[in-house]
Homo-oligomer: A and B are copies of this chain.
């Protein structure tokens, strides 16, 4: 079964708000085994709205509309859907009651007439009570048995209504579900990753394989169509196994919601290690990212940003000689930054980052994007040399992601 999502609202067409509802609905439908093939956004315009609904009913089994159920004149989703389905609009006593109860003791002395419009539904439709607002949701089938859901636009009304009221109905339609894993890779470029699995991607049927680049990380989604989770796990197993085999330790997780920083912090906790950082070109972004992980305080106590050479000497005791002979952006400096940071914080692991984020400061030998990352792990130091492309922001984001992965690998390699 497949669904089409129609978002209604001029504020979306004008870009005044970002459409988070559609991402939510798409994720939920996909997880429920319903493929979303089209997402459409139209404004509060009767003709274009009707056309969008007609088109959707022609090419999809399920049409989910969000927005345009409000009390004002430019809320016309119900009217449009009723028109296309050839049904009338009727006032729903049950919804009127709920609306009055909802507004009881609210700011209004008496309920404005146009609030009653929100209690109107499409004749013969099933009402989906709104537990977080006034406008009820509506589920209706057209003459050909195509299914239409009309849901309120406010996310805090839409999301709970979808999960509590719509999902159970959707589940009753589908035979199969989709089961997917996200193979996340660190320290590898999208093209290199892609090249390594081109054969698998070309041959894909079930499961499907789709790589995405994520500023210095590569995520590969592997999705199986199946009747239930256990079967899905079985279908995915060989592919996951091959990906692990081909990418080895570049794989840092198989879970969509697990981030590289979480894996890294988890690894440090598991080994009872503390970590610190000494950042130059990234200026605190690396530590700022690690601290994103709640509970990071177990392994992180302190860190320094040593942007100036003087600071590198003052805090990390990078030797003046090193800075003079090799420069602040050099393997030697990165090495001394990592060891110096570990000593300063008395930490078991430390990362030193120095590089040229640009736009200025590049040379022929050391172009903009040149970054050295030193990792100290229990006395062993490894330094990697990277050259990233892009603007200042991108170079710094890549630096953070590659540094985190380098530390992760260094910890795994240590005993």
How many angstroms between the C-alpha atoms of A131 and B389 in the bound complex? Answer: 10
- Determine the interface band of chain A, counting residues with CB < 8 A from chain B: 35 or more
Closest to A134 in B: B389
Q: Which of A38, A43, A107, A195 has the most CB of B within 10 A?
A: A107
Query: For the complex, is A332 an interface residue (Cβ under 8 Å from B)?
Result: no
Query: For the complex, is A307 an interface residue (Cβ under 8 Å from B)?
Result: yes
Specify which chain B residues have a CB less than 8 angstroms from the CB of A194 in the assembled complex.
71-72, 112, 114
Which of B14, B73, B131, B288 is close to A288, meaning CB atoms less than 8 Å apart? Answer: B288
Interface pair A13/B39, CB less than 8 Å apart: yes
- Known contacts: A292-B393, A305-B284. The answer to whether A15 contacts B43 by CB under 8 A is no
Interface pair B19/A23, CB less than 8 Å apart: yes
How many angstroms between the C-alpha atoms of A301 and B283 in the bound complex? Answer: 10
How many angstroms between the C-alpha atoms of A74 and B23 in the bound complex? Answer: 21
Query: For the complex, is A201 an interface residue (Cβ under 8 Å from B)?
Result: yes
Interface pair B288/A285, CB less than 8 Å apart: yes
How many angstroms between the C-alpha atoms of A110 and B256 in the bound complex? Answer: 31
Q: Which of A10, A24, A154, A211 has the most CB of B within 10 A?
A: A10
- Known contacts: A72-B201, A283-B287, A301-B311. The answer to whether A15 contacts B27 by CB under 8 A is yes
Chain A residues 29 to 74 lying within 8 A of chain B, measured CB to CB, are 29-30, 35-43, 45, 48, 52, 70-74
Nearest CB on B from A354, distance (A): 13
Specify which chain B residues have a CB less than 8 angstroms from the CB of A156 in the assembled complex.
390-391, 393-394
Query: For the complex, is A235 an interface residue (Cβ under 8 Å from B)?
Result: no
Closest to A101 in B: B389
Interface pair B392/A358, CB less than 8 Å apart: no
Interface pair A73/B201, CB less than 8 Å apart: yes
Interface pair B48/A30, CB less than 8 Å apart: no
Interface pair A11/B210, CB less than 8 Å apart: yes
How many angstroms between the C-alpha atoms of A387 and B104 in the bound complex? Answer: 9
Query: For the complex, is A174 an interface residue (Cβ under 8 Å from B)?
Result: no
Query: For the complex, is A319 an interface residue (Cβ under 8 Å from B)?
Result: no
Some 8 contacts from A to B, beta carbons below 8 A apart, are A15-B26, A16-B221, A18-B20, A38-B40, A71-B191, A105-B367, A108-B189, A291-B396
